């Protein structure tokens, strides 16, 4: 809807979170709540999106980019938040959609339905309502047939009869901009909370015979997060949704409940995820790859037909070519591995490039950090690095080279050379037997002396 301005309210006091971080910046499935809301708002293709934040919550500015924040000086209520928002915006569309920064589940489909009904009803104000299982402190919708809305009564101001109504206000509201701007001027604070309620607009509009309606939505979608308990519940629901979506898309999970995903985790076809795998943000897994138990991946692009884990740690900046094999207790950070590379056991490969077909032996470490700076390790194609080698970066091991096990590599290795960089083995014939006899005699002597003293 190209004439729509979306205003996301996020300037309220979120005291129940008991946090120094503003509530909408807390994360669900690896992404802040406000980002979830922005993603949904974007799907409506609006004219513009703005976020209303409090003066001290500068952290929003970075999080919501490329969108801009408007500051509400004081949290004087949802009506005041919308007023502050509109005053700070140039180019407001024909309609304004108000969303909340702490309601991360609202779906694009539901909002599109609200917009469609709004236009079909030629409505001046449309509210998303839901039939609450437990209506708690929500505002109650006072309605007539044909989805006509007469009034919203806040819980604190409701009569006992109104409190019995289970049809509640979600907070999502769509309004004609011209009427909205006029209406906001008429809001008063003569209510139980002493705030400017956005919800009072319904009565204001009705007095002017401007049509107000409501649309239904599923309660689950309108779940708000107010404290850490609700945050944990929201995480659980989001995880289930993401798992189900992945399963439907053709990912196999033996025990989905033990797999943790991010909103942006991407899977190809026929991926297999074993139990107890955690995906952090920005992970992409190619077709037919297999992620084995207890692996933790973030910021990584995994090619097709790779095997990762068990117990692999894949950190940001990693990309793996097709048919790569990363085994147990291997850590990768900012590592680009080409096709058919294998690092099967107990390695740290950081700030490294590894060419096609190379084999990294057990216990190989790229020594990338000297306490001050990070340096790169380059390994060419078809290189064989023997077990327990330390590669002191910066270092370049060229195509076809072999590194003998236990080497400490400090210099570049040329193409097709073999390098062994460890102390040479020496043999002292029979010396072990002599040493043992000497030591045993020494020990026996000490024991005898101690007995004498006693
Ligand atoms: C609001 C609604 C209520 C509805 C409920 C749904 C009003 C008066 N009441 O109540 O009918 O059932 O949401 O969850 O609108 N905010 C600001 N600035 C402010 C105050 C709030 O930006 O000055 C933001 C908050 O950050 C939040 C949203 O507005 O994102 C809602 O505020 P909140 O105080 O939680 O409203 P409720 O009392 O829950
Ligand atoms: Ca609330």
Say yes or no: CB of residue 129 within 6 Å of ligand 1. Answer: no
Q: Is residue 449 part of a domain?
A: no
Total domains in the fold of the chain: 2
Mean pLDDT of 30-46: 97
Q: Is residue 382 part of a domain?
A: yes
Q: Is the pLDDT of residue 2 over 80?
A: no
User: Which conformational region is residue 329 in: left (phi greater than 0), alpha (psi within -120 to 50 degrees), or beta?
Assistant: left
Q: Which atom of ligand 1 lies nearest, measured to the CA of 9?
A: 22
User: Do 246 and 358 share a domain, yes or no?
Assistant: yes
Do the domain assignments include residue 426? no
Which numbered ligand comes closest to the C-alpha of 226?
A: 2
Note the pLDDT tens digit of each residue in 411-454.
Answer: 999 999 999 999 999 999 999 999 999 999 999 999 999 999 88
Q: Please write the tens of the pLDDT for every residue from 334-343.
A: 999 999 999 9
Residue 48 located in a structural domain? yes
Examine the domain organization and report whether 212 and 122 are in the same domain.
yes
- pTM (global) more than 0.95: no
Please tell me what DSSP assigns to residue 352.
E
Identify whether residues 106 and 23 lie together within a single domain.
Answer: yes
* CA dist., res. 302 & res. 307, Å (int): 9
In this structure, what CATH number is given to the domain that contains residue 380?
2.160.10.10
State how far the Cα of 266 lies from the Cα of 107, in Å rounded to an integer: 20
Tell whether the model's pLDDT for residue 193 goes beyond 90: yes
CA distance between the termini of the chain: 97
Residues 205 and 232 in one domain: no
Distance 116 CA to ligand 2 centre (A): 26
How, if at all, do strands 4-10 and 95-100 pair?
A: parallel
What pLDDT score does 15 carry? 85
Tell whether 359 is covered by a domain.
Answer: yes
In this prediction, residue 38 carries a pLDDT of 98
Q: How confident is the model at residue 146 (pLDDT cuts 50, 70, 90)?
A: confident
**Residue 367 confidence (pLDDT):** 98
Q: Are residues 237 and 215 in the same domain?
A: no
156, 234: one domain: no
Q: Kindly state whether residues 21 and 113 are assigned to the same domain.
A: yes
Task: Using pLDDT thresholds of 50, 70 and 90, give the confidence band for residue 328.
Answer: very high
**Burial tier of 214 (Cβ tally within 10 Å: 0-12, 13-18, 19+):** buried
List, for residues 42-78, the tens digit of each pLDDT value.
999 999 999 999 999 999 999 999 999 999 999 999 9
Per the listing, tokens 């096990």 go with 405
Residue 345 annotated in active site: yes
In testing the pocket of ligand 1, which one of 8, 12, 165 has its CB within 8 Å of the most ligand atoms? 12
In the prediction, which pLDDT does 454 show? 82
| Region for residue 73 given its phi and psi (left: phi exceeds 0; alpha: psi -120 to 50; beta: otherwise) | alpha
Q: Is the pLDDT of residue 1 over 80?
A: no
> Does ligand 1 have an atom closer than 6 angstroms to the CB of 199?
yes
pLDDT for 82-133, tens place per residue?
999 999 999 999 999 999 999 999 999 999 999 999 999 999 999 999 999 9
Residue 379 has pLDDT above 90, yes or no: yes
Which conformational region is residue 406 in: left (phi greater than 0), alpha (psi within -120 to 50 degrees), or beta? Answer: left
Q: Is the CB of 79 under 6 A from ligand 1?
A: no
Residue at 194 is within a domain: yes
135, 71: one domain: yes
Q: Report d(CA 127, CA 206) in Å as an integer.
A: 14
- Is 261 in the same domain as 194? no
Q: Is the pLDDT assigned to residue 14 strictly greater than 90? A: no
Check if the beta carbon of residue 401 is closer than 8 Å to that of residue 391: no
Are 165 and 20 found together in one domain? yes
- Strands, E assignment, 318-394: 318-320, 325-328, 331-337, 342-345, 348-354, 359-360, 365-367, 377-379, 384-385, 390-392
Does position 289 have pLDDT exceeding 90, yes or no?
Answer: yes
Instruction: Please compute the mean of the pLDDT values over residues 381-407 and round it to a whole number.
Output: 98
Tokens of 142: 């006072």
Establish whether the linkage from the previous residue to 66 is cis, with ω within 30° of 0.
yes
**Which pLDDT value is given to residue 259?**
98
| CB atoms near residue 21 (< 10 Å) | 13
Q: Which structural domain, as residue segments, surrounds residue 108? A: 4-222
- Tell me the CA–centroid distance for residue 374 and ligand 1, in Å: 48
Do 25 and 111 sit in the same domain of this protein?
yes
Last residue of a domain, one of 222, 242, 260: 222
324 and 406 within one domain? yes
Count CA atoms within 13 Å of residue 253 on its CB side.
22
* Residue finishing a domain among 196, 222, 248: 222
CA gap 253, 14 in Å, rounded: 37
């Amino acid at each position: 809807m190209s004439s729509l301005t979306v205003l996301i309210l996020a300037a309220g006091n979120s005291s129940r979170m008991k946090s120094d971080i503003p509530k909408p910046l807390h994360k669900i499935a690896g992404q802040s709540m406000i980002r979830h809301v922005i993603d949904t708002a974007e799907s409506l293709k609006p004219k513009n999106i703005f976020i209303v934040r409090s003066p001290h919550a500068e952290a929003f500015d970075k999080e919501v980019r490329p969108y801009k924040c408007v500051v509400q000086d004081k949290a004087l209520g949802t009506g005041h938040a919308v007023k502050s928002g509109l005053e700070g915006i140039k180019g407001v569309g024909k309609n304004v959609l108000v969303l909340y920064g702490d309601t991360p589940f609202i779906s694009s489909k539901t909002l599109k339905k609200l917009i469609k009904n709004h236009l079909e009803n030629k409505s001046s104000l449309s509210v998303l309502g839901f039939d609450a299982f437990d209506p708690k402190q929500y505002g109650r919708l006072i309605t007539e047939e044909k989805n006509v809305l007469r009034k919203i009564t806040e819980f604190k101001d409701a009569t006992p009869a109104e409190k019995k109504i289970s049809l509640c206000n979600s907070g999502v509201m769509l309004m004609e901009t011209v009427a909205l701007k006029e209406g906001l001027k008429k809001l008063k604070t003569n209510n139980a909370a002493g705030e400017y309620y956005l919800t009072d607009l319904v009565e204001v509009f009705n007095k002017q015979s401007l049509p107000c309606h409501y649309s239904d939505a599923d309660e689950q979608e309108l779940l708000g997060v107010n404290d850490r308990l609700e945050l944990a519940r929201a995480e659980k629901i989001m995880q289930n949704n993401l798992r189900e979506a992945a399963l439907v898309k053709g990912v196999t999970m033996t025990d989905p409940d033990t797999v943790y995903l991010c909103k942006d985790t991407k899977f190809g076809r026929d991926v297999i995820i074993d139990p107890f795998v955690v995906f952090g943000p920005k992970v992409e897994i190619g077709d037919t790859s297999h992620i084995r138990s207890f692996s933790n991946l973030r910021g990584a692009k995994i090619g097709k037909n790779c095997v990762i884990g068990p117990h692999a740690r894949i950190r940001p900046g990693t990309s793996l070519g097709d048919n790569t094999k990363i085994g147990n207790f291997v850590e990768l950070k900012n590592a680009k591995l080409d096709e058919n590379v294998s690092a099967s056991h107990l390695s740290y490969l950081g700030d490294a490039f590894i060419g096609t077909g190379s084999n990294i032996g057990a216990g190989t470490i790229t020594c990338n950090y000297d306490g001050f700076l990070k340096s790169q390790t380059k390994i060419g194609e078809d290189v064989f690095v023997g077990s327990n080698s330390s590669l002191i970066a910066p270092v370049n091991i060229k195509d076809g080279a072999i590194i003998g096990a236990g080497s400490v590599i400090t210099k570049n290795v040329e193409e097709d050379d073999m390098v062994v960089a460890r102390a040479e083995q020496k043999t002292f014939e029979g010396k072990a037997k002599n040493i043992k006899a000497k030591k045993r005699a020494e020990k026996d002597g000490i024991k005898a002396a101690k007995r004498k003293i006693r």
